[in-house]
Structure 1
Amino acid sequence: LGERLVRLEHPAVARHALHEPVGNGPYRLVESVPGDRWVFEANEAFPEELGGRPYLDRYVYRVIADDATQASALRAGEVDLLTRASPANLATFRADTTIDLIRYDDRDYDFIAWNPRRPVFAEAAVRRALTMAIDRPGIVSAVLEGQGAVAVGPVGPWHWAYDSTDVPLPHAPDSARSLLAAAGWADSDGDGVRDRDGRPFRFTMYVTPRDKWRRVATIVQSNLRDVGVDMRIEVREVPSLQPLVTSPDRRFDAFMLTWIPDEMLDDRAMWSCDQLAHPVHFASYCNPDLDAVLDSLLVVTDPETYAGLVDRYNEILAADQPYTFLFYPSHLAAVRVVLRGVEMDARGNWLSVADWWLEPTAR
């Protein structure tokens, strides 16, 4: 591949890669419709020494935002696999003999990105207050039905160097109120919303239409209201949200997203001071101490030193809270029993895709 295609650190190239990806695996991308589907066909030339041609001639990755619609499509045989079944549908799937459930842990975490270019989010103490106001254990219980854990930072239990003794910021509304008051945010007019210098603590949270995000956002909205912060919820489809959060001027107050970190923890595009214009540098966050940690993670070979750097990575972001790290979800894939060979783990949803095959009756 030429340099034009592989130098993904350049923001313009990164945007190109999102829409016109290049690969050399067992399948070829033959069609992509933003926000709707990706269509792949078997790569007839895939080397035998790497496994040869995959079993399936074609597979279609569909984008279905609504959890109920996903469940209906699976049960009707319109799709054969949900990589991440909604906890709300688990009871239905467990009762359906045509569906298998595969439990796996991935590298992902869910977060709220705060935009520090907005004055209300400019201070780390205020961002910590927001995190402590949010009942993340309650969200894991109510929305994930216990299928996950409250997140400490970007590196979760999937990574060998994750320190299981690390404790996330607690749900502590009284402490949140004290931090907000110390930062000068007080309800001066008795309307229930804190203000400072005549400006109310009010902002808009963008979420996508998926049921999970609506439910999380509603809980967050209630939690923040209890400490005097007025959060408005605005639901946007991914195609309309993406330019707002990836553009260099970051046209958002806050938004919720799921992120899957790089296996090698090369997260410089998201956090480094010299990458502020990168599409995924959502938080416009710059900390030279973190830059040094991220650079060192790519060159250190001693396991003990490396583990210390990973711990420091989580520690810095836990202190500054450019994101509120919500949770590390555990996942259940829902698979029609006629689709065989499916395996998933932290290495990816498509780990065994070349070995998937359909029962003859389903072809």
Structure 2
Amino acid sequence: MFLHFLRRRLPLFSGALLILFAGCGGEKSVSESPRAVRGSSGGTMIVGMDADADALTPLMSSSAFAGDIAGQIFAGLAKTDPDMAGYSPWLAESWEFSNDRKELTFFLRRDAYWHDGVPFTAEDVAFSVPLYKSPEIAYGSMRWLRHITEVTAVDSYTVRFRFDAVYPYQLTDANVATPLPKHILGEVPINEIPTHPFHRNPVGTGPFKFVKWEPQQSIELEANESFFLGRPPLDRVVFKVVPSQTNLVTQLRTGDIDFYPKLRPEAYEDLQDVDHLRKLQIPSRVYYYLGWQNASPFFSDRNVRRALTMAIDRESIVKNLVKGRGAILNTPILPFLWAHDPEVPAIPYDPEGAKKLLSEAGWADHDGDGWLDRNGTPFEFTMKTNENNDLRKDIVVVVQEMLAKLGIRMRPETMEFTVFIDQTTGKDFESMCHGWKQGSKVDLTSIWHTQSINDRYNMVSYSNPRVDELMDRAVTEIDREKATKLWSEVQRLIAADAAYTFLFTLDDLYAIDDRFQNVELTTYSWTYNMHEWSVDPARRKY
């Protein structure tokens, strides 16, 4: 059950080309009203999560799970459609481009309110965008906003974005900066925004209101009675922190948890005999990787990084750890995106070739102790990952064994999730086992551009001037064929440089209690229509 689309929906890429090539400047999107929320009101859903959130606002949250929760508290100007090909109205009823496509004007709803009862207006939008662009805050996707030069509140319900370039993702970029309440944060000094209590006690415009957060235990939301599409059917959604995957699965079996969106393949198989659970497998936007800190003397050499990838049997990892439900990945752009290049050359599993590259770089067993060293320094480092993710921990152990066969001593180090995020975004690591949830926009600059090293997400300090040049051209290229060629070269260079050892992408595996109705899980987000979920009145437990 999708929200109604725009009658003239603006796609993320191809539609922008059609409008430009047709010369139809000034075309306006005309919206049907989004479908009102339906379903019997009442009931609570308990959602299991294996780690606590780091923040509950779109400005400061770093983890995918925290972002999912923030997405229920806050609403954007437009809502990404499930096929990720366009947008539907949300806080904005419609929008239009100027004739030269340098201005994008949003016409806002007049029935949207912040959870404290204050009306949502264009002033909130104009206030928020500079926060997302601020280097002092260092929002993770800050570079997506670099072509937005000005945001102006024309009146209370009209806001205009000004761009310094015409490119396919203007609507996407304008929608990145989810509005924040000016009446709460407007007087806060910019340097105090990142640590402001608001991020742990948020006030949004979304379908659910924040109630309370008990650290390392739970986060509770309640239905927003004044939500602009109508009150969500569920009274409450409680996100319960259960760090152990084994305990999560047990609680799904016993009914103590109603839903868990991150099952491991073996857990998914183990739950097939549980009659009250619906089991679903959905294509994913997530990929797993090993990151090598390029600023470290161990990993500054491209050939050493390639050797490490050659030492790792990724096929074995997919077969044994994810039970064949994953697909090996060689590129930072996933197959669901138009720019994915399936012909990117893979770095093969070749331990003997790895030994040769390491030897050429000066790494050999000079002292006869069975471990590689260079100039008296042993090839010995740590690989960090988060304690709550059993799959990542298993990957690290397997990789440790594979590298040991080459004489490389790697020490696993696990930590609480928010600590892991702080250390990796702060570049406080030698190597890491991590994962990305890819957006619907093809733009790798936040992770791979040299200028992003000082931001949060180029965690491995990767720098390649040729990649920078190609990405700068690709993100503004309006010709799909030319853009595809540019992104293909970007992917090939990044893969060859081996700052990441790309591991695999894995389908999202879900289990949800069959008491819940109107649930639609999509590749874009499992929370896509959470404001429509309901529970059978005859089977309510809470």
Shared fold by TM > 0.5? yes
Residue pairs, 1:177-188, within 5 angstroms: 177-188=355-366
The structure-2 alpha-carbon separation of the partners of 1:138 and 1:339, relative to structure 1 and needing over 3 Å to count, comes to same
Cα pair distance change 1:256/1:41, threshold 3 Å? same
Greater mean alpha carbon deviation, residues 299-308 or residues 79-88:
299-308
Q: Highest CA radius of gyration, 1 or 2?
A: 2
> For residue 285 of structure 1, what is the aligned residue in structure 2?
462
SS at match of 1:39: strand
1:300 paired with 2:477, answer yes
Matched residue, 1:234: 413
**Aligned mates of 1:223, 1:166 — CA distance in 2:** 24
Q: Offset at 1:262?
A: 2.4
Structure 1 residue 101: deviation in Å?
1.0
Matches within 5 A, 1:30-69: 30-33=211-214, 35-48=216-229, 52-69=230-247
Distance 1:322 1:35 in 2: 33
Question: Which residue of structure 2 aligns with residue 243 of structure 1?
Answer: 422
CA distance in 1, matches of 2:255, 2:447: 38
Query: Within 1, Cα distance between the matches of 2:340 and 2:203?
Result: 32
Match of 2:295 in 1: 117
Taking structure 1 as reference, are residues 267 and 55 closer, same or farther at Cα in structure 2, changes over 3 Å only?
farther
Measure the CA separation in 1 of the matches of 2:239 and 2:489: 37
Distance 1:31 1:155, change over 3 A: farther
The answer to whether the Cα contact below 8 Å between 1:106 and 1:348 also exists between their aligned partners in 2 is: no
The separation in 1 between residues aligned to 2:330 and 2:347, in whole angstroms, is: 7
Contact persistence 1:34–1:239 (CA under 8 A): no
The total of aligned residue pairs comes to 358
Deviation at 1:33, TM superposition (A): 5.0
Deviations 1:30-83 (A, max 9, x none): 4445555433322333223xxx33221221233433210110121122221111
Asked if 1 retains the 8 angstrom alpha-carbon contact of 2:337 and 2:442, the reply is no
Question: Is contact 1:265-1:297 (8 Å) kept?
Answer: no
1:309 aligns to what SS in structure 2?
helix
Q: Distance in 1 between matches of 2:255 and 2:245?
A: 16
Tell me what 2:282 maps to: 104
Give SS of 2:251's match.
helix
1:244–1:334 Cα change, 3 Å: same
State the distance in 1 between where 2:332 and 2:462 align: 14
TM-score, with structure 1 as normaliser: 0.91
CA distance in 2, matches of 1:315, 1:322: 12
Distance 1:29 1:317 in 2: 41
1:190 corresponds to which residue?
368
The CA RMSD over aligned residues, in Å, is 2.2
How far does residue 356 in structure 1 lie from its aligned partner after superposition?
1.3
Secondary structure of the corresponding residue to residue 507 of structure 2: strand
Counterpart Cα distance in 1 of 2:462 and 2:533: 42
Secondary structure of 2:206's aligned partner:
coil
Compute the TM-score of the two structures, normalised by the length of structure 2: 0.62
1:344 shift after superposition: 2.2
Aligned equivalent of 1:161, options 330, 335, 339: 339
Per-residue CA deviation, residues 255-281 of structure 1 (Å, 9 max, x unaligned), is: 111111222133322222222221222
Instruction: State the alpha-carbon separation in 1 of the partners of residues 209 and 473 from structure 2.
Output: 35
The runs of 5 or more residues in structure 1 that have no matched partner are none
Is the CA contact 2:347–2:496 (under 8 Å) kept in the aligned structure 1? no
Corresponding residue SS for 1:263: coil
The residue type equivalent to 2:294 in the other structure is P
CA 1:38–1:141 in structure 2 vs 1: closer, same or farther (change >3 Å)? Answer: same
Does 2:504 correspond to 1:313? no
Query: 1:280/1:98 Cα in 2 relative to 1: closer, same or farther (>3 Å)?
Result: same
Which residue of the partner structure matches residue 433 of structure 2? 256
The 5 A counterparts of 1:319-358 are 319-358=496-535
Call closer, same or farther: CA 1:269–1:178 in 2, change over 3 Å: same
Query: How far did residue 4 of structure 1 move?
Result: 5.8
CA contact (8 A) 1:150 1:168 kept: no
Query: Distance in 2 between the 1:35 and 1:279 partners?
Result: 24
Equivalent AA in structure 1 for residue 232 of structure 2: P
Which residue number in structure 1 is paired with residue 398 of structure 2?
219
Q: What is the CA distance between 1:86 and its match in structure 2?
A: 1.2
> How far does the alpha carbon of each residue in 1:111-130 deviate from its partner, in whole angstroms, 9 at most, with x for none?
11111221011111111111
Alignment partner of 1:28 is 2:209: yes
- CA distance in 1: counterparts of 2:495 and 2:241, whole angstroms: 32
How far does the alpha carbon of each residue in 1:210-237 deviate from its partner, in whole angstroms, 9 at most, with x for none? 2211211111001111112110011111
2:198 aligned with 1:74: no
Q: Does the Cα contact within 8 Å between 2:345 and 2:492 map onto a contact in 1?
A: no
Query: Which range is displaced more, 113-122 or 154-163?
Result: 154-163
Distance 1:9 1:220, change over 3 A: farther
| Post-superposition offset of 1:347 | 1.1
Q: Which has the higher helix share?
A: 1
Aligned to 2:32: none
Alpha-carbon distance change, 23 to 299 in structure 1, aligned in 2, over 3 angstroms: farther
In 2, Cα distance between equivalents of 1:39 and 1:263: 29
User: What is the Cα deviation at residue 144 of structure 1?
Assistant: 0.6
Asked if 2 retains the 8 angstrom alpha-carbon contact of 1:177 and 1:227, the reply is yes
Moved more, 344-353 or 227-236: 344-353
1:32 & 1:132 partners in 2: Cα distance?
44
State whether residues 261 and 267 of structure 1, in contact with CA within 8 Å, keep that contact through their aligned partners in structure 2.
no
Report the Cα distance in structure 1 between the residues aligned to 2:127 and 2:455, rounded to whole angstroms.
17
Q: Which has the higher contact order (CA 8 A, sep 6+)?
A: 1
Moved more, 134-143 or 292-301: 292-301
